[in-house]
């Protein structure tokens, strides 16, 4: 990727915005202002930002259950996102979806899902539409290592390759599916190898290095836009929080957690920026403050927004009345 300082700063801003957002969600959850099951992506910001950095606004992105960061990275409005998590009528789904059902169509974030790997086949549908429209749009789907063990993951890889669909599979291998380590749920430790079975080009990258993710995705995007079909990118990363908010995470060693803390993707990127003198120090310092300011404003917006009208409980939902 180019070393344009504005582009580098925008990457840093986005990562801080996501980190600040997730920390605010954790805080609001503890205060019971945000309800439901909450999965945070703290520690995985480089994947979301690096991958979406290479996309156009009209490209389609699909997430999963840990997708606040994916939505923000694609350009979703943090105010409407936080309002959704707080169950308010100004939220993306009028407060009826919550954390795992984010839809931000204006930003090209098509949907998240609580069904593990459930959006993988959906991304193929978007890619098929994009291919038929012929305007260079592409689809991208984020999923975890656990999702890669699902049958529909394999069916989707097969179909994407067979039909040469412009879809990029981004596997966030954070080493755990819920409380189960990778070694206990597959005999295939390098998940990108699955792509080879279906003749899809693959790469495994350090998912805590935002520039490595960006470079891999840029290549995949170029291929997808020039009708060369799907790509698979496995990003090795780690979640610094439990599986869900409130998870005591007793299934992993504290030494493992502290080791990964030293690989924090934001601090690593800051080190690169400073060591190589790529952007002014002052701008680096400002980035965190800016992100936290945006999130503070989003929280004020969300918590001062009205609750949904109880009479509308069965509108906009797929439920019999
Ligand atoms: C179809 C389905 N099976 C099981 C679950 C329960 N579940 C929720 S999250 C999760 C683990 C997902 O792991 P992974 O795909 O690696 O994503 P991560 O949580 O690490 O981001 C499971 C099994 C579910 N939500 N949907």
The alpha carbon of 144 and the centre of ligand 1 are apart by a number of angstroms equal to 8
Q: What is the pLDDT of residues 204-247, one digit of tens each?
A: 999 999 999 999 999 999 999 998 899 999 999 999 999 999 99
Q: Closest residue (by CA) to atom 20 of ligand 1?
A: 177
Q: Give residue 3's pLDDT.
A: 73
Burial (CB count <10 Å: 0-12, 13-18, 19+), residue 266: buried
Q: How far is CA 82 from CA 99, 102, 110, 243, in A?
A: 9, 10, 17, 20
Sign of CA dihedral 49, 53, 170, 207: negative
Our mutation pick for probing the ligand 1 site, out of 66, 177, 235, counting the most ligand atoms within 8 A of Cβ, is 177
* Residue 143, strand partner residues: 171
Our mutation pick for probing the ligand 1 site, out of 45, 178, 247, counting the most ligand atoms within 8 A of Cβ, is 178
Q: Give residue 274's pLDDT.
A: 97
Q: What ranges in the chain are assigned the alpha helix state H?
A: 5-30, 45-53, 68-74, 78-85, 119-133, 151-162, 193-197, 210-225, 254-261, 265-275, 281-303
Residue 143 has pLDDT above 80, yes or no: yes
Our mutation pick for probing the ligand 1 site, out of 146, 148, 185, counting the most ligand atoms within 8 A of Cβ, is 146
> In which band, very low, low, confident or very high, does the pLDDT at 317 lie, cut at 50, 70 and 90?
confident
> In which band, very low, low, confident or very high, does the pLDDT at 313 lie, cut at 50, 70 and 90?
confident
Mean pLDDT of the chain: 96
User: What domains does the chain contain, in order, with CATH numbers?
Assistant: 5-305 (3.40.50.970)
Q: Which atom of ligand 1 lies nearest, measured to the CA of 114?
A: 25
Q: What is the pLDDT of residues 32-64, one digit of tens each?
A: 999 999 999 999 999 999 999 999 999 999 999
14 CB near ligand 1 (under 6 Å) = no
């Amino acid at each position: 990727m180019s070393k344009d300082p504005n582009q580098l700063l925008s990457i840093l801003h986005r990562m801080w915005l996501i980190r600040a957002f997730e920390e605010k969600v954790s805080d609001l959850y503890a205060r019971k202002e945000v309800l439901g099951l909450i999965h945070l992506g703290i520690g995985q910001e480089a994947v979301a930002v690096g991958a979406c950095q290479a996309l156009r606004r009209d490209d389609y992105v699909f997430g999963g259950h840990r997708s606040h960061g994916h939505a923000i990275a694609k350009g979703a409005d943090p105010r409407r996102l936080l309002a959704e998590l707080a169950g308010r009528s100004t939220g993306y789904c009028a407060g009826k979806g919550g954390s795992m059902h984010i839809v931000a169509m204006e930003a090209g974030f098509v949907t998240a899902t609580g069904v593990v790997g459930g959006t993988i086949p959906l991304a193929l549908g978007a890619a098929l539409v994009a291919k038929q429209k012929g305007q260079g749009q592409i689809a991208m789907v984020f999923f975890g290592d656990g999702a890669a063990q699902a049958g529909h993951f394999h069916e989707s890889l097969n179909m994407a390759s067979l039909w040469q669909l412009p879809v990029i599979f981004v596997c966030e291998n954070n080493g755990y599916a819920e409380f189960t380590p990778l070694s206990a749920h597959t005999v295939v430790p390098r998940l990108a190898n699955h792509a080879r079975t279906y003749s899809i080009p693959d790469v495994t990258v350090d998912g805590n290095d935002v520039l490595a993710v960006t470079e891999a995705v840029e290549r995949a995007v170029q291929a997808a836009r020039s009708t060369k079909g799907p790509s698979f990118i496995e990003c090795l990363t780690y979640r610094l929080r439990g599986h869900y908010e409130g998870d005591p995470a007793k299934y992993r060693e504290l030494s493992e957690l502290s080791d990964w803390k030293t690989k924090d993707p934001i601090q690593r990127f800051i080190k690169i920026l400073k060591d190589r003198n790529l952007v002014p120090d002052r701008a680096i310092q400002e980035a965190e403050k800016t992100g936290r300011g945006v999130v503070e404003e989003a929280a004020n917006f969300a918590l001062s927004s009205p609750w949904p009208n109880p009479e509308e409980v069965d509108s906009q939902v797929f439920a019999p009345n």
